[in-house]
Amino acid sequence: MATAHRHDVIIIGAGLSGLHAADRLKSTRDVVLLEARDRVGGRALAHTFANGDTVDLGGQWVGPGQERLYALIEQLGMKTWPLWDTGDRLIVNRGKLGRYTGTIPKLAPHVLLNVHLMMTRFDAMAAELDPASPWTHPKATEWDHQTVGQWMEKQAFTRQAFEIFAVGIGAVFTAEPHEISLLHALFYARAGTSLDNLLATSGGAQQDRVHGDMAGVAQRLAEGLGDRVKLNHPVEQIEWSEDGVTVTAAGQQFTARRAILALPPTQAVRLRYDPVLPSRRAALWQRMPPGACIKCIAQYETPFWREDGLAGQAVGPDLEVRVTFDNSEAGKSAGLLLGFIEGDHARHWSGRDPGERKAAVLAAFARFFGEKALHPIDYVDQDWIAEDYTRGCYAALMGPGVWTSLGMELRRPIGPIHVAGTETATHYYGYFEGALQAAERAVDEVEAALAAS
Ligand SMILES: Cc1cc2nc3c(=O)[nH]c(=O)nc-3n(C[C@H](O)[C@H](O)[C@H](O)COP(=O)(O)OP(=O)(O)OC[C@H]3O[C@@H](n4cnc5c(N)ncnc54)[C@H](O)[C@@H]3O)c2cc1C
């Protein structure tokens, strides 16, 4: 093997977290950023349609309370614009199409009241948690030893209330209610203010988009880093001691006094560590699988649904695509419908014939928006489960018992290896904002350690 490249800090993973960490360190430290793929951005990824318009196939929204992300977008000279949120929303429930206004679909009054009470109770419980240590809540064990689905069974008086709440859970977590620890769901909601905020469009987490695309934020950060970013460098091994790290990637060795691992847990646990990972850390990462999601976007000549007074937002508990949004970019003539296939549906459709998947998605769009939805001028979907260096999204989940037995390991450095990535955030865990917050915490740890040595 060739002589090792020496640096102060090695960052692994050029998603927004790794890029932000490198950006903050670059003026004071010799830093290198190793990225497995041939592109930066990780879960931020853009697609260009045949007509030249671009769209995000990964994360795209930013909303109030995500101040780091707004500041970064501004610092990079980019601008945001609000999601189209005008008009009625649609629901297909038990085969029937209905229109409604507001966040909660039009249902029988007792069902509506039940869903409203479930939301209120859920958010009241979430508000009690400290997102930095959810395991310290007096009811942490009780909440962690049940799934969201078990809690919903007790709270929902009707099947319909259960199904509607499950659509909300699917939209936020890209998982089924029986997969997720109640404590994890409460923590996630608390970290993002509330479940209500995470579900909301205007005034909530789905409020704004970036002109161009969110992947452009990653691209511009990478441009500022120049040749510190090494693409096509999948890290295979980290040898570590209290003195530093030696990282092997693409047949080369890189050494540094400190490393920042900015990977989702499923990827971090794939690397070889010498000495081996502390067993509690390995146990935690093995118990943090990602949600499952395929993001689907159909492009039309115009946003034709707006002529019918529709917002483009729809929910369909029984359909392959359970939620949709109007994703048309402000100032562009084309109309974009965005739908998510999540949880069990996503695992069903992952890796299947793309033509069949497209037909299923367009059929769901047509159930909401009529026959015109069957005839897009272009179409794209992104199967994140099939992506080798991500293997699922939006973010890692914890099933029952994980937070209270192992959650305290989440941000603990492993000798000279510090951990970043959105899955280590206490503010907007799972979101870009969390990726930035985690990067800042890891950089502070590295600076303190370097200053002390
Ligand atoms: C479909 C979808 C929709 C989403 N919607 C939103 C949204 O609207 N708003 C929002 O805020 N968030 C959203 N998210 C979540 C958001 O994208 C993530 O929280 C964020 O991108 C995480 O950034 P990260 O840097 O922590 O991780 P990642 O972006 O996953 O970055 C990790 C990087 O590590 C690299 N890597 C992996 N293994 C190795 C290895 N062995 N060696 C070197 N490099 C490696 C990967 O290639 C990747 O570049 C969405 C995500 C998806 C996929």
Encode pLDDT of 18-58 as tens digits.
999 999 999 999 999 999 999 999 999 999 999 999 999 99
Q: Which residues lie across from 46 on neighbouring strands? A: 56
Question: Amino acid identity, residue 242?
Answer: E
CB count within 10 Å of CB 333 equals 11
Which three-class secondary structure state does DSSP give residue 7?
A: strand
Ligand 1 atom nearest to 430, measured from its CA: 19
> Can you tell me the mean pLDDT for 317-329?
96
Residue 267 CA, ligand 1 centroid: distance in Å: 11
Atom 46 of ligand 1: nearest residue by CA position: 42
Q: Share the mean pLDDT of the chain.
A: 97
329 neighbors 84 (Cβ within 8 angstroms):
no
pLDDT tens digit string along 229-277? 999 999 999 999 999 999 999 999 999 999 999 999 999 999 999 999 9
Using CB distances shorter than 6 Å, the residues near ligand 1 are 12-18, 34-37, 42-44, 58-61, 234-235, 262-264, 267, 271, 293, 295, 384, 389-390, 393-395, 421-422, 430-433, 435
Nearest-atom number in ligand 1 for the CA of 394 is 51
Identify the helix (H) or strand (E) that includes residue 441.
helix 432-452
Alpha carbon nearest to ligand 1 atom 26, residue: 421
CA 188 to CA 98: how far, in whole Å?
31
Other CB atoms closer than 10 Å to residue 102's CB: what's the count?
8
Q: What is the mean pLDDT of residues 304-311?
A: 98
Could you tell me which of 252, 185, 214 has the C-alpha nearest to residue 430? 185
pLDDT tens-place string over residues 79-133: 999 999 999 999 998 899 999 987 777 788 899 999 999 999 999 999 999 999 9
Sketch out the chain's domains with CATH numbers. Answer: 5-42+215-289+397-452 (3.50.50.60), 46-66+79-85+205-210+291-386 (3.90.660.10), 108-199 (1.10.405.10)
Pocket test for ligand 1, best of 394, 437, 443 (most atoms within 8 A of CB): 394
CA 15 to ligand 1 center in whole angstroms: 5
pLDDT of amino acid 105: 77
Q: Are 436 and 17 in contact (CB under 8 A)?
A: yes
Residue spans of alpha helices (H) in 26-147: 67-75, 109-127, 140-144
Tell me the whole-structure pTM to 2 decimals.
0.98
Q: Are 43 and 390 in contact (CB under 8 A)?
A: yes
**276-294 pLDDT, tens per residue?**
999 999 999 999 999 999 9
Centroid of ligand 1 to alpha carbon of 7 (angstroms):
25
